[in-house]
Amino acid sequence: MLYALMGLGLSLITGILNIPNFAHGALFAIGAYLLVTTVGVIGNFWVSLLLAPLGVALLGLIIEYAGIRRLYAAGHDYQLLFTFGLALILSEGIIVVWGPVGFSHLPPQILRGGVDLGFTFYPKYRLFVMVAAGLLILATWLFLEKTRYGAIMRAGIENKEMVSLLGIDIHKLFTVAFALGAYLAGIAGALTAPIRGVNPNMGVDMLGIAFVVVALGGLGNLLGAIAAGLLIGVAQAVVAAYWTEASTAVIFAVMALVLLVRPQGLFGIR
């Protein structure tokens, strides 16, 4: 579910801006760090879970408004280089602010420990993450499918020039899309912190998987990103049950296999 959440955010940005956002992993990491910091300050996990991704969305908004927007005229190569450089700056920024050594963060008391599902024993917090991520994906989907602004965003992915000719502020659309993508990365990071802890490289680890999800689903295809995220997660879990050594390699094997058969990804490029 977390892979789907990351993939959805990245696909949204890729679809609207036509560039792969290399800073997406760093935004994920900042979401995790902000959650831990906010819990430390206010002492409430649930409020922190609301605030941390909003902080990342705000950062995304600033990045788009102050950085990427100024490079639209320069072309995609410059925007791509900008997000690549930004990823390095944000990763180093994490080390400067929070230090090079990672640390653990416990789930809230109510979600600690596990439950016996009959066939397996599973941590309560992971079950919560599955439900929360599922709801977030559903909410994002409903926003994109059922609201007017969601329709504009989808139209923006299909044909930016047409949307612009209809009198819609395309730059505002880009900013909102980037902030929404950043929010999804941020909340994925915040939800991940009690599972994997935080460390400066956590964004790099996740970025690779997020790109696999986007490529597998079809570049810029939102439904594809959700389906690919779920597919990767399930494939990893199934393979790990029988052949643990291959559980990481299977992510890339699935992508290679699908792209051999369908180079445009599972749901096609938008």
Partner 1 sequence: MKRRDILKVGAAAAGLGFPAIIRAQPKEIVMLGIWPATGAFSDVGPILDRGMRMALEERDMKIQGRPVKYIVRDSATAAGAATRRVEEAVDGEGAKFVIGPWSSGVALAVSEVAKRKKVFHYFSGGTEDISGSRCHRYSFQWAASPYTAAKTVVDNFMKANPKARRWHLLVADYAFGWSVEKYIKEVGKTHGIEFVGADRHPLGEREFSNYVQKAAANRPDAVAMINFGLDAVSGAREIFNFGLTPKVPLIMTWSSGVEELVQLTPEIRENIWVGSNFYYTADTPVAKKFVAAYQAKFGNPPGYAPSAAYGMTRMMLHAFDKAKSVEVRDVITALEGIEVQDLVGRMRVDPKTHQTLRPYFFMRCKPKSAMKHPTDFADIIATGDTPLPAEYAACKDLGSF
**Residue 121 parent element (H or E):** strand 121-123
Nearer to partner 1, 75 or 100 (CB): 100
Query: Which tokens sit at 185?
Result: 């990365």
- Residue ranges of alpha helices (H) inside the chain are 2-17, 24-42, 45-66, 76-98, 124-146, 148-158, 160-165, 170-196, 202-217, 222-242, 249-261
Handedness of CA 5, 51, 173, 76 (dihedral sign): negative
Nearer to partner 1, 154 or 196 (CB): 196
Nearer to partner 1, 156 or 200 (CB): 200
Residue position matching structure tokens 């690779």: 208
Query: What distance in Å separates the CA atoms of residue 222 and residue 12, rounded to the nearest whole number?
Result: 7
Nearer to partner 1, 104 or 264 (CB): 104
Q: What minimum distance in Å lies between the beta carbon of 246 and partner 1?
A: 9
* Chain CA centroid to CA 263, Å: 23
Query: In the 8-state DSSP scheme, what is residue 164?
Result: H
Query: Which tokens sit at 113?
Result: 């420990």
Nearer to partner 1, 118 or 167 (CB): 118
Residues in touch with partner 1 (CB under 8 A): 100-107, 113-114, 120-123, 125-126, 194-197, 199-202, 205, 236-237, 240-241, 244-245, 247-249
Q: What minimum distance in Å lies between the beta carbon of 118 and partner 1?
A: 12
Nearer to partner 1, 175 or 236 (CB): 236
- Residue ranges of alpha helices (H) inside 43-147 are 45-66, 76-98, 124-146
Q: What minimum distance in Å lies between the beta carbon of 3 and partner 1?
A: 10
CA neighbor of 201 nearest in space, from 20, 1, 25: 25
Q: What minimum distance in Å lies between the beta carbon of 240 and partner 1?
A: 3
Q: What minimum distance in Å lies between the beta carbon of 263 and partner 1?
A: 28
Q: What minimum distance in Å lies between the beta carbon of 105 and partner 1?
A: 8
Residues paired with residue 99 on neighbouring β-strands, in sequence order? none
Nearer to partner 1, 167 or 242 (CB): 242
Nearer to partner 1, 15 or 194 (CB): 194
Q: What minimum distance in Å lies between the beta carbon of 218 and partner 1?
A: 25
Query: Which tokens sit at 128?
Result: 């919560």
Maximum separation of any 2 CA atoms in the chain, in Å: 58
Q: What minimum distance in Å lies between the beta carbon of 49 and partner 1?
A: 17
CA neighbor of 131 nearest in space, from 267, 1, 269, 268: 1
